[in-house]
Amino acid sequence: MKPFNCCWCPNTGLAAAGGGSLEAESLSDPKNRACFRSLFIVAALVCGAYFICNAFITNEYKDRLSRWEVINMLRNSKSDTCKNQCRPPGSEALPQGIVVKTSNLQMQPLWSDSVKNVNPETSSNLLAIAVGIKQKEIVDQIVKKFPVSDFVVMLFHYDGIVDEWKDFEWSDRAIHVSAVNQTKWWFAKRFLHPDIVSKYKYIFLWDEDLGVDNFDPKQYLSIVEGEGLEISQPALDPVKSEVHHPITARRKNSKFHRRMYKFKGHGRCDSQSTAPPCIGWVEMMAPVFSRAAWRCVWYMIQNDLIHAWGLDMQLGYCAQGDRMKNVGVVDAQYVVHFGLPTLGLNSTEVKIAQREQLPKSESPAPSESHKIDNRPEVRRQSFIEMQTFRKRWENAAKDDECWVDPYQQLS
């Protein structure tokens, strides 16, 4: 076998013989000894640098690891104390005292003495109304009935007109939300989250076409609280109102009622009836929810079913107990339901450009306006949504193996 030439000291004559041993005589050469010294110094420097860097990195890693081990040990030591704390998802990295789980609709001044606080902290209830400018005067009468000290007012502007409400003295203290052609339930799902309105004991979610000459909010809530009504509504004046369901009609000489009686025709109701609309039912134009009931109802509102048809039949599930006891209609404080057309009915002036495209004999006068009535389409969509909601409820009840229908045996 040929000897292997050493690659690190060229032309030195160093060689590995067989097993790699160096020839003894080559070591006596001064050049070879210098080469060995140089290699030894370089190797020592490289090794020293490696060990120093490795020690530094290892110590830093150990320091970090030890810090996290200490943190984990502290967490584990507190596990018995902290395991029962319910923290909102995402807040685990924060100390509990800094976490604010809820909010409210309280307006705050830009600086401490800038303006007088327009919504006192004592406001403990919420009035939310879907409004259009055409019912401006009716809404004004409604809002004036609700004391500033007890109610925060929130208006949902479905026609996009907000500035024209500024002439009312209460407008600046109201919360205004605007989205064109959206329903009350669309607004409620997006802007009345239970964690936002959790401060308010009762939530009035009303339509705009209600007469309130015979309604006092404080007396109304006194009855509701006294009778334990978690979901309620004021009764409707049967003479002046557009009444769609007999259970909502006011009964004379009555404080409130929970059921209706119907002995003829389709859908009979008697003292043995246990399901809506005979009992445990309110209409959707003027419902009033307790804080706990609204938290449940909010979850039941569907994002895409903006008319909320069919929801009324299931409200009793959110009554915080027996719907036959905790849902009712208050007769002593009643309203008038005018039944005015709102969504789907628009008045638009005929533009000059449109008139010019028509024959002269058919061209309307410049001041003539046309009403576009889309209410049939709105009603049709409402029926479609009701069927969709019913189907979703049926599927949800069938698919949830852990849910038990408390009213299944009663229906």
Report helix, strand or coil for 4: strand
Which residue has 């889309």 as its token pair? 374
- Neighbour count for residue 233 (Cβ, 10 Å): 26
pTM: 0.75
Spatial CB neighbours of 353, under 8 Å, sequence gap ≥ 6: none
Q: What pLDDT is attached to residue 5?
A: 43
Q: What percent of the chain has pLDDT over 70?
A: 72
Vertex 212: Cα angle to 374 and 177 (nearest 5): 55
Q: Which amino acid, 156?
A: F
In the chain, what are the domain boundaries?
125-263+270-345
Cis amide leading into 276 (omega within 30): no
Both tokens of residue 295? 């938290």
C-beta separation of 386 from 306 below 8 A: no
Beta bridge partners of 336: 211
Separation between Cα atoms, residue 289 and residue 319, nearest integer Å = 9
Output the six-digit token pair for 173: 């203290």
Percent of the chain with pLDDT over 90: 60
Q: Is the CATH code 1.10.357.10 the one for domain 125-263+270-345?
A: no
- Per-residue pLDDT at 55: 60
| Cα–Cα distance for residue pair 292/154, rounded to 1 Å | 20
Cα Rg of the chain, angstroms = 39
The encoded tokens of residue 277 equal 């609309």
b/e 103-120 (16+ beta carbons within 10 angstroms → b): ebbeeeeeeeeeeeeebe
pLDDT score at 197: 96
Pairing of strands 345-349, 231-236: unpaired
Question: Looking at the DSSP assignment, which residues form a beta bridge with residue 150?
Answer: none
Beta bridge partners of 122: none
Specify whether the CB–CB gap between 287 and 235 falls below 8 A: no
CB atoms under 10 Å from CB of 159, counted, come to 19
**Residue whose C-alpha is closest to residue 141's, from 338, 332, 290:** 338
What is the number of other CB atoms lying within 10 angstroms of the CB of residue 312?
Answer: 17
Interior angle at CA 315, CA 385 and CA 332, nearest 5: 120
The terminus-to-terminus CA distance of the chain in angstroms comes to 102
Rounded CA separation 209/265 (Å): 30
Helix (H) or strand (E) holding 178: strand 175-178
Three-state secondary structure call for residue 406: coil
Q: What is the pLDDT of residue 368?
A: 45
Two tokens at 107? 């307006």
Mean of all residue pLDDT scores within the chain = 83
Which of 17-49 are b and which e, b meaning 16 or more Cβ less than 10 Å from the residue's Cβ? eeeeeeeeebeeeeebeebbeeeeeeeeeeeee
CB-hemisphere CA count at 13 Å for 68? 5
Name beta bridge partners: 228.
none
For residue 272, what are its two tokens? 């043995």
Question: What is the torsional sign of CA 380, 384, 385, 390?
Answer: positive
Sequence-distant (6+) residues with CB within 8 A of 333 are 214, 215, 216, 219, 220, 223, 234, 235
Yes or no: say if 215 and 145 are a contact pair by the CB < 8 Å rule.
Answer: yes
Spans of the chain below 50 pLDDT: 1-24, 347-359, 362-368
Distance of CA 191 to the CA centre of its chain: 7
